[in-house]
Structure 1
Amino acid sequence: MKFVWVAIGGALGSLARYTLGAWIYSRMGTRFPYGTFVINITGCFVIGLALSILDAHTELPSAWRLAVPIGFVGAYTTFSTFEFETFRAAQENPAIALLYVGSSVVLGYGAVYLGIQTSKLFG
């Protein structure tokens, strides 16, 4: 049953991401990635709100923790998870948080570059 809650939340999150992104891009254009930017920032708000409420109200069914932060927000944007994990790491060890952010950005950019270069082998 756990997978069902994640899947329901994920389906709704991916639909929300697509719908909001398309709506924003149709109004603001694509010169700047406004859609992704808004989705990432709103996802950060939603995950912070949801996890704070769920942590404070442990009497809520566990299905909410599966459906909202994992399913919905996970499909809506993984950037929010990255930011939430960075926030938690910064509270415990700011150096670890800085390492996480720096290495994620640099290695992630490198991985995109390598993926693009590798695709040329198939193409």
Structure 2
Amino acid sequence: MKPLDVMWVSLGGGFGSLLRWWIGSLISERHHGAFPLGTFVINISGAFAIGYLSVLFGVDWRDRYGTVLNAGVLTGLLGGYTTFSSMQLDAAKLGGTNRILAAPYLALSTVVGLLSAALGAMLARLVG
């Protein structure tokens, strides 16, 4: 790990976290239901973007940390933008207040996230 890599991951991660906070705030101002729509939208859009960009950048899953684009965009920006821990916290909170939504929320987040990443990768292959 080189200092320059650390800088790119840090800058990307900071920007991604700010983007997550901003989009989450916008969604929560408009959506007041029990379903954690902000976290869901952020994770699904992030999965799509990482699927698309990983194909566009020619990233091999075994070596996705090596270049500036990978470090700054995939690991930093999209790693800071998406939020597995918030998804888990949302599910735990739902389990305490609305048990009927907790398991479907996790299942839907996982399945739609996988489909979104696959769709992004497929689209990148089609676009070329």
**Alignment TM class, shorter chain as reference:** 0.5 to 0.7
> 1:53, CA displacement in angstroms?
0.7
Q: Which residue of 2 aligns with 1:15?
A: 18
Structure whose alpha-carbon radius of gyration is higher: 1
Whole-angstrom CA distance in 2 between matches of 1:43 and 1:24: 15
Q: Please, which runs of 5 or more residues in structure 1 have no aligned partner? A: 89-123
Deviation digits for residues 97-119 of structure 1 (CA, Å, limit 9, x no counterpart):
xxxxxxxxxxxxxxxxxxxxxxx
> Contact 2:39–2:83 (CA<8 Å) still a contact in 1?
no
The one-letter amino acid of 2:55's match is S
Q: Of the two structures, which has the highest relative contact order with CA contacts closer than 8 Å and spacing of 6 or more?
A: 2
**When the two structures are aligned, how many residues end up with a matched partner?**
80
Answering whether residue 72 of structure 2 is matched by residue 67 of structure 1, we say yes
Question: Helix, strand or coil for the counterpart of 1:55?
Answer: coil
User: Which structure has greater helix proportion?
Assistant: 1
Whole-angstrom CA distance in 2 between matches of 1:35 and 1:78: 11
Answering whether residue 31 of structure 2 is matched by residue 28 of structure 1, we say yes
> 1:78, CA displacement in angstroms?
4.7
Deviation digits for residues 47-96 of structure 1 (CA, Å, limit 9, x no counterpart):
0011111107xxxx9211101110011111155xx867xx89xxxxxxxx
The one-letter amino acid of 2:31's match is M
Whole-angstrom CA distance in 2 between matches of 1:78 and 1:29: 20
Following TM superposition, the consecutive aligned residue runs of length 4 or more in structure 1 with deviations greater than 6 angstroms are: none
Q: Please, which runs of 5 or more residues in structure 2 have no aligned partner? A: 60-65, 85-109, 119-128
> RMSD across aligned C-alpha pairs, in angstroms?
2.4
Percent identity (aligned): 39
Task: Give the direction of change, closer, same or farther, for the CA distance of 1:3–1:30 in structure 2 (3 Å limit).
Answer: farther
